[in-house]
Structures are given as C-alpha cells and as structure tokens.
Structure 1
C-alpha cells in the first residue's frame, strides 16, 4: 500500500483538460490571425489536430520549453521569426521537425541548412501540407514515446509496490481488471463526448467520429485501429501517457482488439522488427536491464520485413541526441497466455504492410543489446515471454488473487488504484459505482466503508465522518439520528478536528493506528471520537481507551 501520508493525487477524471494526442503543430508567424488562413488551419488540423498559433517569439519559445519530453512538436516558422527561434529550440527533445514557410526560399535555405531538424523550406502552402503529412506518417512509427515498465530479478531491486517491480505488476493487474470490466452506454457516450470536444472545429475528424459512432462494430476494431483517424491517435496517446480514465473509457474497444488478436493468433514462431528513435538515457536504461523483463504499455506494432522496418530510419534521418534502435523480436505462440499477437495484414487499412501487432502489456525479455557497425544503429534482441515464467509467476499470481475470476466491477478497479496510490481516482470510481446502484443494493455498505477508510488514510477526517454517517444510516434506515450527550462534540467539524488531533498524536509517538479500525459501526466510531477528544493530552490514556475499544 502506498504511503498513507501521501496527498490525494490530482489526476483528474475530466480528460478534456488535457491533450489526447501526442503530436502537436506549432505555428509561429506574425500573420497567423489573419482571416484568410482559416482554410489553411483546417488543412493542417486534418493531419494533426492540435494546433497552437503564436505571433511572438518569446511566447512561442516559453510554450515549447514547457512541453514534456513525451510530447512531439512539429513547428512551422516564417523566415524572419524562424531565424530567431530555430537556434534556440532546435535541440529540445519535443521538437522533432521544423518547416520554414516563407516567400524567399533561397535566402532562408542558407541559414536553415545548418539545422538538421529543418525538414523543408517552402513557399507554397499545399507543398507544406504535403510534406508535413508525409513526415507525420514516419513520425508515428519512430517518434512516438516508448512507454515501458521494467521487472528486475535482481535481489532487493524494486520489491515494494512503489518500486519498478511494483509498477510492472500493477500495470498488468490493472489491464487485466479493465478487460474484464463490462462497459456501459454511459462510458461510450462519455468517450465520444470527450473526442468531440477534443476535435471541435476539425471538420475532417468530426465526420470520422460521427462515422465511428454510427458504424463501429467489434469485428472491425483492427481496421479502425490501423486507420489514420482520431481513434488510433487518441487510443495510442492515452496508453502511452497512461491516462487511466481514458483507458477505462476505451476498455471495450481494447477488449475487441484483444479478442481479434486471439482469434487470428499466429500459429508458428515469427521474427519481427520495429524501429524506434530513443534518447541516450532511454537506451542506457534498457542496457542496464539486459536479461530482465519489460512490458510494453501500448499496442506494439512490428513488421516481418527487416528492410521495411529500416526504411523508416532512412525517411526520418539522424537527429541530434537521439539513437536509432531496431528491435529484433522472436515470438513463439506457445508463450501466449493472455497477451496474443497476430499478423493483421488482412484486417488493416494498409493491406500492403506486413504488420504483426502485439497486445498491450506484452512481456519481453531483453536478451542482448549490440551496436551494428554496418547499419549504424543499436539492435535490441528480445524474446516474447509469458507471465507464468518462474521469475514473474509468484508476484503476478499473488496480486491476481484479489481479482478472482470472471467479471470485475468498479469497486475492484478502485481497490487496485488505491493500492497504486491513485487515491483520487480510486475515490471517483467508488462514487461512480455508488451512483449506478439501486438505493437498496447491499454493495452500498462496502462502498461507504471503503470511502471512509480511504478518506481516513489520506487525512481527510471530515470526509471520513461523512461516509461513516452514510454507512450508519444505510445500516439503520429507520433510526433518524445518532443520540449524543449535550456536553460532547456533535458536529462533523468537531469530530473531524478530534480525528486530526488523534492523528497528530499518533505521528508524534509513531503509533500508526487507523481510526477506522477502532469501530465496527457508526456508534462506536462516534464513541471513539469523543474519547479521543478527552484524552488528547495523555498518550497512555489514549492507548488504554483504544485497547478497550478492541
């Protein structure tokens, strides 16, 4: 369990507050607010939805410098402003391509040629669009952030739930839970609404969202995944940035893809390849984990064609500070238990590409990492594993006991997130389930108790009292109120303050006792709070009274 003193995390369930794509366009030009460029904006957004416009170099620079290394920016600059900003932003990791859109091609090519990320100097807008569209297809293959978890077999490494092994295991359990959690019409509507809000004003993608809403079926999930549309871009992004609530909303579609991969699972062992641009630090982390396990936190697209995989590097070019990495993977279907893989050429929008797709969460062992002098790239040899391998089986089996078999529910999901330290999300899924239950469903009792315990753990004793009151009222529907003495605290504030004083005393003397464990129902909880108020200045008396409660 994560540290109980940790504050409730601020991971908002409102996915609309954050970008649902990895790639963004930045346009720096003194004339980007002119009315005649609205059509140009539509064309740009038909390629990459996220478009941010600037007229001021300093503001643009500040925005770019504040971007996460997991974001990918394609930057359009005018000739005059480009001379100022390109030398400053050129080496920043999020910036992957720069385009100079100008009127004097020759003079701007002179200064732009010094910067490898400048992909083109163009004077015609249609040529700019065409070049961005071509480059973007390559960027989606080699530039998307590589989201992985590690599992180390080294003694004493990351054994806690907060360590690297804990994160690895929790992700596996979380995905297992989500795949077994039935989706609802409410979830589907929320997902579609999120996407519509994200793509508002983008006529091209809005048409595709409408088409998806009307025509999607589980049997064409792979076709939708391979199609260049909001579905692929959004799903891939939320998996890579680990936006848990959006993954929750996408779970039905993830389950559809999983089912199709199982149905079309390859029958024979295959060797596949995947090219990737990585930072030196990312590559070094993988080197340090040779012989260990990794899990890929997104769908993992590979090719059976070695030369086709390498061709993406030829198209993307070499970039400062980045390493060209080729994954060389051996996959045997005998290793598959819950994470299938399949050649999806017959189900893809791009029928000419020999693509083998691995289920998200697929586990691999990093066998060897070598430098190829011939191709001037790093080769990472990996083998597909399954979760019953000796080193993995013990930790995953123990954690999966809580899941049981069959369908899961929102309470199960909430408990997993609680253990992961995602307290705010855990609370919201408990409440989401409460709102779905009938008024007399006995599960209310468990959820009220969970919510009270969770609030107590994070130090919100006022909220804990509120949930205890709801629990008591549910257990005693015919009793109007709790009788109290006139000289003792009755308000939630009084009881909450009492709880905080008890917690302060506990911390001072390093006695870690959960307030909730002192009571089995609301009456005894009130009694405990009254007693706590009276004995706050005496640790010995506090311990004696607490012992009597047990």
Structure 2
C-alpha cells in the first residue's frame, strides 16, 4: 500500500493490522521527515520522495515473496517414535515426484508448446506487458537455455512455482515441456561440473526466505528429520545475499525469517543441481539451482543474534527416504510403468490422484490418435473407469461394452484382460444398484482369474473385494465379510503396509460391520483406513473423503456427535473440492452431514454402550469375541484360517442386530422429536453415499436364501445407518 504522508496519522492505524496488507510505503510530497514512522509501525517499509524509488523498492519484496512461496514438506509428531515420524514425507511429495518422472518420459511436440502459449495469452488477456513477454517467449524460446528463461524477469518462474506449490496438476501438465527442458538442462550442467572425474568436495550454499509461524513450528519439532522441496530450488554461494532475503522476510510480523545453510556432497545426491552463473538471465550472483524433489536432513536450528524471528537452519543434502513413502512409491511406480507408456502413464496417475476430468482430456486425445483396435479397446476401458468415477454410469457401461466387443474378437474367453473389463463393468452395475448384473460380472471375472493366476495375486484380491461390496449391498453380510477377508489376507501378504488398497479393505469391512449395527468394530476399521489414506493420498482425494464420512457416521452412532459433525463437514468439503458440482455423491455427503447434525440437535440416541453389547453377546454364544478376535488379527496382519473366516455366519449378524435394538430402546425423547428424526433417518437410509445402496424391495425377498430372509426380517426392528462406499479402481492389463 502506498500512502501520502498527509494521510499517515489517520490511515496507518486503521489498516496496519489487516493481514492482507503486507507492506506500506509513505510518499512524501512536501519534503517532510517521517523517519520515526518505521520504528512505530513495523509494516512501513520506508519514506520516499518519488514514485521511481518506490518502484525500485517494490522489486525487492517481490523477489522475497517468490522465495517465500517455495513448497517445504514436513510433518508434525504423533504417537510413533520421533525419528520414525520425522522421516515421514507428505504424500504430495510422492505423487509430484512420480508425475515429474512421467513428464520426463513424454516426447513433447511443438503443438504442446503452442497450446501453452495460447493458454498464457488467454490468461493474461489485457495485460500488455505480459503479452509482450509471451510474444518474446514464442519467438525466442529455442534461442535461450531453459535456465535463462527460468531466471529471467518473466512469469515462468512464478507460474511454475505456483503449480508445483499447490499441486495444480492441470498447470503442471501444461508446463510439462518446460519442466522437462529445465530438468535436462540442470542435469547436463551437473554432469559437466560434478562428474566422477571432477572434485567431489563438499560445498556450502545458502537460501534466505520467510516461513509462516505454523510451518516453522512444524519444522522445529522434527530436528534431525527430513525436509523436502517439491519445487526447483534456488540457492546461493553468497551468505550475505541469502541473509538479506531472510532478514527482509521477518519484517512482516506474521513471517519468520529463515536462513538455510545447506551442506552438499555432490557424489551423494540423486537430484541434479548446478552452478548457473554462465547461463542465467542476470549475470550477478553465484547461484546453485536444484531440480525438484531435493531432500535434506535437518541438522540444527538456532536463532540469529538472539532474534526470535530470525533463525538459521542447517541442512545436509541426503538420499535418505521416508521408508513407508519410499516403499509405496516404488510399488505405485511399478504398477503404472509396467502397464503403460508416455501419456497413458500420465492418465493412470491422474486417475489415482482422483483428477478424473483431466484424465478424460488425456484419454479423449489418445483415443483420437489410436491406430489399432487393441489401442482403442484400452482407451475405451480407461474412459469407462473415468466415467464410473464421475458418476456417469450409462456412459461408463457404453465405453466398457465397446472395449469388451473389441477384446472378444482377438482374445480367448479366459484372457485376464477380459476379466478386468468384466470387473469394472460390475462396479458400474453396483453403482447403478443393479446388484444381480454386478454379481454376475464380478463372478465371471473371478472365474477367469482363478484359472490363470496364483492364489495370492493382487487381481484376485480385487475380485474378492468387489464381490464383497455387492454382497454387502445385498445384505448378505456373512458372504460380504468372507470375501473382504480373502481380499485383505492377499493384500497384507503382497502390498506395502500403507498401500491405499489395504485402506479399501479396512474401509469395506468396516462398512459391513456398520450395516450389522456393530459401530465399535466399524469405527476401528474406518479409523485404520483413514490413517493409511491420510499418509498416502492427496488432501482432497475422494477416497479420503469417504473415510472421513464413514468415521463421522460411526462416531454419531456411538454418541460422539461433535466429532461426527467435524468429520462429515470435512468429508463434504473434500468432495466439493474434488468432484464436479453435479456429481451424485456430493448430495449424499450433504445428507449425511444433515443427518448427524439432526442426531446431535435432538439427542435421541444414547451413547453406544459397548459393555452392554459385549455382555449380551457373551450370554448368547460369544459371537462378539469372535468378531473382535478376527478384527484384531485383520488389523495386525495375523493370518486367519478358513474356518475362522467362515465362522462369521448370519447368526452373528442377528446377535448384534438384536443387541443394538435393545440399546436403542433406551432412548428418551419426545414423540415429536422422535418422529422428526426418524423421518429424516428413513429418508437418508434409502440411499447410500458413494455410491447409492437402495433398500431391497419386498418382492425380492423370495429370491434370496434363508439366511438373507432372517437378516431382512431383522432389519424391520433394527435400522441401519447410511453408509459410504469405496469406489475401487482396478488396474487393467494393457
């Protein structure tokens, strides 16, 4: 903000503490002296006699702000050991790293550069200065080194930084050609400057920037742990220049000034870096530029000159890894790379990230460029997966059927690739509540896989998981638990302990217990799924939203209403941020939030009495102890025998339903409130969030087995809560 000195006394006291105002400049018109103002008001940068001097001063904070925006990943402590926790990296580090690796394998063409230029012209329409820069970029891009462009006075530096900082996938892909060119340029210089035959002595570089108090506190807690930078990282050999940026940053009362002192062993880094003085835009300064995803060990953190708003952080460049994220990264990299190439790899990653609209853009283009029936079948299959995830089920069926028609012409009836298509089309029918067709397609897929695959193959786990989902919707909880248990056992043996598919198994088993009225066991399983997803998925992923929703409903059922509301609110916010506005699942999350609010408002359900439930079941046949023993084995990874797995019979369901019914009879409320709440509850339980589960019609009762008849009869006295469901994307063979 620029203020005339004649308004200083009236305006500055009013605006100084507004967070959006970072810096105030005083323009003196009559030669008056106001040096004391900078001491009285911390946001006043200085007193100036002309606009030109203010403009020069403005350039420095702009550079400081750009440096402050570089993404730094670290995590706070929890119940794990300090060292184990301090080595954990944010999940975004893994996904952006894989995304960068994929971009480096893509052969970008001139059309991709032209598409970026068109995007920039539209973005900066009406900005004559930016448009001139875009014209220059279009005409001269290949005349200069990518490092020259990155360090020039243009929008590329800030645009690229923003896309990597916010994980804005659309923009990262648009700038993919530049990310690849810039990385390759740094790698080339790194090979020249730090080759095996060159000196590998350690060197020290510096970086000055500002950090929010919250981010600094988080970093301070994990001294000795890992710190990562997702962006291209600019550092300097000159400590004084870097100190200037750190010192300038802490003038803002909301920012901590940080001077990073970084020790580098050139022979111990997998991330390329280089001295760029000879190729950068500005000749002054000895700058070292790192490619993305550099990792450092935090050696120490100490105040500078006793100033508690200015700190020095000593870092050591390292190849050390968060062991859990590293194992998962390797597994997911193998999953994606083993079945796809180039843009197809990118599309698969976008599906895993829940970026379905952008994935559709990729596959629409690839479909138009296909030259063989085999390629078309694959693109139809991918588009079917996307449409199912978008809630456009009719379109999904159409794409999957087109894929199957092509495959049937060239593949044997027992080919594993057909099994993948059958399994996916079964998921769509489940989402459409056509459970008969869903079960038929899933069983066809399972039969093919059992003939072709070893007993512990992950595709078999996929089939078991999806059949379990259908049985849960059909209220056949014994079979649902049995199939989910089979899927879980395979995944525990073959997947990293934090793989999202394990979270899916815990989530889906929790949903069965939820349907059976055993909210205590359901809550344990849903919290286990949530724990994995928080560590391994982006912050607004639909599956993470599903876990928050499940936990919220379970908390509501056991009487912890305030936490239930918080979880359901967070779930709704995630799906609103990640799905299209017209996606059918969004309304289900809204309904569930409204439901838990109504439960809290009318308080017609008492806190869930676990002791009462255990006692009732022990008086019967100790079925609850069977549940909890198996549940404990599932969570700890202990093997479960086939006899134990199938001991979860329909009578166990009836026992828990009966006990839950007794508890609910204890609620005390007015008739009006009970009618209102029950009416609301019935409206919500007629559907199911992500995706819908419709109540079974009376005329269907004769079509089910005797065990199901008992469950359906029991449902008349013990109503079940609304559920969330996991959409499980199975990977298909190419």
Q: CA deviation at 1:169?
A: 1.9
- Report SS of the residue matched to 2:74: strand
Return the TM-score normalized by structure 1: 0.67
Correspondence for 2:227? 294
Q: CA deviation at 1:174?
A: 1.7
3-state SS of the aligned residue for 1:329?
strand
Aligned to 1:248: 173
Shift of residue 298, structure 1, vs aligned partner: 0.9
Measure how far apart 1:139 and its partner are. Answer: 3.5
**DSSP-derived class of the 1:320 partner:** coil
2:80 paired with 1:147: no
State whether residues 505 and 539 of structure 1, in contact with CA within 8 Å, keep that contact through their aligned partners in structure 2.
no
Equivalent residue pairs, number: 431
1:410 aligned partner = 343
Cα distance in structure 1, aligned partners of 2:80 and 2:243: 39
**Structure 1 counterpart of 2:45, from 119, 124, 146:** 119
Provide the secondary structure at the position in 1 that maps to 2:219.
Answer: helix
1:341 corresponds to 2:265 = no
| Maintained 8 Å contact 1:219/1:256 | no
Matches within 5 A, 1:438-449: 438=371, 440-449=372-381
Using CA pairs under 8 Å that are at least 6 residues apart, name the structure with larger relative contact order, 1 or 2. 1
Q: What is the CA–CA distance in structure 2 between the aligned matches of 1:366 and 1:233, rounded to whole Å?
A: 27
Partners of 2:57 and 2:76 in 1: how far apart? Answer: 43
Which segments of 5 or more consecutive residues in structure 2 lack a partner in the other structure? 195-199, 410-427, 436-468, 485-692, 707-734
Partner Cα distance (2:276, 2:134) in 1: 23
3-state SS, counterpart of residue 167 of structure 1: helix
| 1:497 positional shift | 10
Q: CA deviation at 1:508?
A: 8.0
Please identify which structure carries the higher strand content.
Answer: 1
How far is the alpha carbon of 1:476 from its aligned partner?
A: 7.8
Which residue of structure 1 lines up, in the alignment, with residue 359 of structure 2? 426
Which structure 1 segments of 5+ residues have no match? 1-74, 478-494, 515-531, 545-550
Q: Secondary structure at the match of 1:401?
A: helix
Contact kept in structure 2, 1:535 and 1:542, CA below 8 Å: no
More helix by share: 2
Closer, same or farther in 2 for the Cα pair 1:154/1:442, shift >3 Å?
Answer: farther
Aligned equivalents of 1:76, 1:505: Cα separation in 2: 67
Determine whether 1:361 maps to 2:293. Answer: yes
Q: CA deviation at 1:320?
A: 0.9
Counterparts of residues 92-491 of structure 1 (less than 5 Å): 92-100=18-26, 106=32, 114-122=40-48, 124-141=50-67, 144-150=68-74, 165-217=90-142, 220-265=145-190, 266-267=193-194, 268=200, 269-315=202-248, 318-337=251-270, 339-373=271-305, 377-386=310-319, 393-404=326-337, 408-438=341-371, 440-457=372-389, 459-472=391-404, 474=406
Q: Deviations over 1:68-107 (max 9, x none)?
A: xxxxxxx345678887775555345553223355856759
Could you list the per-position Cα deviations for residues 468-498 of structure 1 after superposition, in whole angstroms to 9, with x for gaps in the alignment?
A: 3443565589xxxxxxxxxxxxxxxxx9798
- Contact 2:336 2:348 (C-alpha < 8 Å) held by counterparts: no
Shift in CA distance, 272/93, structure 1 to aligned 2, threshold 3 Å: farther
- Pairwise CA distance, 1:270: 1.5
CA distance in 2, matches of 1:249, 1:165: 24
Deviates more, 1:239-248 or 1:379-388: 379-388
User: Is the 2:208–2:244 contact (alpha carbons within 8 Å) kept by the matching residues of 1?
Assistant: no
CA distance in 2, matches of 1:121, 1:543: 85
State the shift of 1:318 in Å.
2.0
Instruction: Report the secondary structure of 2:99's partner residue.
Output: helix
Aligned to 2:581: none
Matching of residues 515-530 of structure 1 within 5 Å = none
CA distance in 1, matches of 2:694, 2:392: 17
SS at match of 1:394: helix
Once the two structures are TM-superposed, the CA of residue 352 in structure 1 deviates from its matched residue by 1.9
The two structures have a TM-score, normalised by structure 2, of 0.51
Preserved CA contact (<8 Å) 1:105 1:122: no
Q: Check 1:406–1:311 CA distance in 2 against 1; reply closer, same or farther (3 A cut).
A: farther
Residues 221, 462 of structure 1: alpha-carbon distance in 2 compared, 3 angstrom cutoff: same
Distance apart, 1:227 and its partner CA: 0.8
Cα distance change, pair 369–507 in 1 and its aligned pair in 2 (3 A): farther
Change over 3 Å in CA distance of 1:110–1:533 after alignment to 2 = closer
Deviation at 1:181, TM superposition (A): 1.9
Does the CA-based 8 Å contact 1:91-1:320 persist in structure 2?
no
Change (3 A) 1:460 1:202: closer
* Residues 308 and 108 of structure 1, relative CA distance in 2, 3 Å threshold: closer
Shift of 1:506: 4.5
Residue 290 of structure 1: SS of its match in structure 2? coil
> Is residue 2:22 matched to residue 1:90?
no
For residues 503-544 of structure 1, give each alpha carbon's deviation from its aligned partner in whole angstroms, at most 9, with x where no partner exists: 899558475999xxxxxxxxxxxxxxxxx9997665895799
TM-align CA RMSD: 4.2
